[in-house]
Amino acid sequence: MTVVLGAAPSGLVGKVVTPDDRRYGMLCSTYTTVGAPAAVVLPESASDVAAALRLARERGLSVAIRSGGHGLSGSATNTDGLVIDLSAMSRVDVLDRAARLVRVEAGARWGQVTQALSSSGLAISSGDHGNVGVGGLATAGGIGWLVRHFGLTIDRVRAVEVVLADGTMVRADHLTEPDLLWVMRGAGAGAGVAIAFEIEAIELGDVGFVQLVAGVDRAGDTLRRWEVAMAKAPRELSTSVMLSSHSVTPVAFITAVVASDEQARIMRAIQPLLGIGKVTIQQAHVVPYTNLIASAQMQSNTGQMPSHTTNGLFTELTPDAARALVAAASGPDPVLLQMRSLGGAVNDMDPSATAYAHRHQQTMVIASTFPPDAQQELVAAWDTIAPYSDGTYASLQSNPSKSMMASAYPGPTGARVVDLWKRYDPDGVLRQPLGK
C-alpha cells in the first residue's frame, strides 16, 4: 500500500521525511525492526509535535512515537503510518543542583544524559545501555544498573511535559494534572507524547563494576542461590545475569554494579555472590558511571538486529521455575535469557503510586530469539516459563497482546490505566493494536 502524504503543513516544512528523502533510510526503523512508514516527522518543539499529530489525524495515519533510542520492542516504527521521532529534542539541564532536579527532553538518549550530568556529580538509573531513548523508558518503568539503590526511573519523575493526542500541551505534576502524571509514570505511551521530564537525580561518583562467571546446574540451584543472595544483598548492589549454553554445562555471566567507589564496600557487597556455586571473578574495577551508560554506545538504528522479545516478573524462583529457565536456555532450541535483580528501592514504592504496580517481585527475566529463529520459537520456550511468572514489564514486549496488557497492568491498576487512556486520548490515536 502506498500512502500519498501530500504537502507538509507550513510549520513542519523540512521536518517531514518521506521515502524519497535521502534521510529516510536512517530514520524508518528501530534497532530490531525494519519499518516502512509513510513519513517520519522530526519535531523541534511541542508545537511541532502537536502539528505532527494533527497531520496524522487529517491523513488517517497510525502513529508511532520514537524517543531517539534503539526501540527494542519495535513499537517505535510502523508500516504506512506516521513516525514522530523526537531525537531533535534532546536537551539536558540541571534546574536546581541543591534539589538535584534535572530536566531531560524525551528525545535524548541515556548516554547523552549520563555524560551531561557527570560534571555535576549526579546520575539517574536508566536502563543498561547508552543507546536507550529517554522517552520510552521514562514512561514505562526504567530498570537500570542502579535499580535496587535508586528505584525505577519513573519513581524519581516529578513532572512530565506532555502533548496530548488533540495537540493540547500540558504540564503534569503532583499539583497540576496528577492523574496524567500517574499514568505517564508506567503507562504513558497510551496517554500522550512526553516531550520532557523533571527527574530527581542522585549524588553519584564512581561505581563498582564486577563481572563474574558461574557454572549453572541443570536443576537451577545456582539461579535460586543467586536470587537468595540478592534478596539479602545491600541495596547498593544490582546485578544482571546472562545465561549461555555454549558449553556442556550452562554458564551464568553475571554483571554486578555497586553504587559506591569504596573498594572494601564493593567487595563486601559482592561477597554473597561468590557462594552461589563455582564462581570466578573475571574483572573488578571502580569506574565512572559514564562507562556503563556511555555516549559511545549511541548508534544509528536501522533494523540491524532483528529479534523477538518477551519477559516476566518473578516473586520467587521456585525449583520448577529455575529448572524451566535452565532448560529454555540450554535445550535443543535455546533462547537468550537475561535475569535482572529487583527489590530494594523498587519495592519501597506503594503499588498504587504509579501505573507500574509490580512492587513485590524480586527478579525480571527477559527472553529473546534472533534469526533464523522466529516468534514461534520464543513462544514455545516462554510457554514453559510463563506459568511461574507474576507480572510483565510492558516495554520489553515485541508482540503486545491483551493478555500481556492484563499482566503488565493488573487489577485496579489496569482499570485506572484504561480509564485514563480513554480520558486523555479518547480516539485511541496513540494506542497500538493488540493481539489476543
Q: Is 38 helix (H, G, I), strand (E, B) or coil?
A: coil
pLDDT band at 7 (very low <50, low <70, confident <90, very high): low
DSSP state of 48: H
Residue 53, H or E segment: helix 46-59
Task: Note the pLDDT of residue 2.
Answer: 56
Residue 70 C-alpha cell reads as 534503539
Cα end-to-end distance, the chain, whole Å: 25
| CA 335 from centre of chain | 20
What integer is the mean pLDDT of 316-330? 96
Q: Is the Cα torsion angle 134, 137, 139, 142 positive or negative in sign? A: negative
Helix ranges (H only) for 251-359 are 263-270, 319-330
Task: Give the residue range(s) of CATH 3.40.462.20 domains in the chain.
Answer: 205-289+304-402
Instruction: Return the half-sphere exposure (C-beta side, CA atoms, 13 A cut-off) of residue 49.
Output: 30
Structure confidence by residue, pLDDT tens digits, 239-275? 999 998 766 678 999 999 999 999 999 999 999 999 9
* Rounded distance between C-alpha atoms, residue 131 and residue 148, angstroms: 22
Looking at every residue in the chain, the average pLDDT score rounds to: 93
Which residues have CB under 8 Å from 318's CB, separation 6+?
388
Do 293 and 114 contact (CB within 8 A), yes or no?
yes
Name the amino acid, one letter, at 249: T
Q: Is the pLDDT of residue 398 over 80?
A: yes
Structure confidence by residue, pLDDT tens digits, 105-163? 999 999 999 999 999 999 999 988 888 999 999 999 999 999 999 999 999 999 999 99
Do 241 and 336 contact (CB within 8 A), yes or no?
no
Q: Is the Cα torsion angle 134, 137, 142, 145 positive or negative in sign? A: negative
The CATH number given to 205-289+304-402 is 3.40.462.20
Beta-strand pair 101-105/193-200: antiparallel
Query: How many beta carbons lie within 10 A of that of residue 348, not counting itself?
Result: 12
Structure confidence by residue, pLDDT tens digits, 235-249? 999 999 999 876 667
Number of DSSP helices (H) and strands (E) in the chain, helices first: 11, 18
Q: Is the Cα torsion angle 276, 281, 282, 286 positive or negative in sign? A: positive
Q: What residues pair up with 424 in beta bridges, in sequence order? A: none
CATH architecture of 92-203: 2-Layer Sandwich (3.30)
What integer is the mean pLDDT of 373-380? 87
Phi first, then psi, for residue 367 (nearest 5°) are -120, 135
* Rounded distance between C-alpha atoms, residue 90 and residue 63, angstroms: 21
Task: Note the pLDDT of residue 431.
Answer: 86
DSSP state of 360: S
Task: Give the residue range(s) of CATH 3.30.465.10 domains in the chain.
Answer: 92-203
pLDDT band at 390 (very low <50, low <70, confident <90, very high): very high
* Rounded distance between C-alpha atoms, residue 221 and residue 227, angstroms: 10
Structure confidence by residue, pLDDT tens digits, 21-59? 999 999 999 888 899 999 999 999 999 999 999 999 999
Task: Note the pLDDT of residue 75.
Answer: 86
The CATH number given to 11-85 is 3.30.43.10
Cα separations (Å) of 258 from 123, 242, 271? 14, 18, 12
Which residues have CB under 8 Å from 410's CB, separation 6+?
357, 391
Task: Give the residue range(s) of CATH 3.30.43.10 domains in the chain.
Answer: 11-85
Task: Note the pLDDT of residue 6.
Answer: 62
DSSP state of 280: E
Q: Is the pLDDT of residue 4 over 60?
A: no
Structure confidence by residue, pLDDT tens digits, 41-50? 999 999 999 9
Beta-strand pair 279-288/82-85: unpaired
Query: How many beta carbons lie within 10 A of that of residue 91, not counting itself?
Result: 12
Comparing CA positions, the residue from 51, 57, 69 lying closest to residue 8 is 51
Helix, strand, coil fractions of the chain, as percent rounded to 5: 30, 25, 45
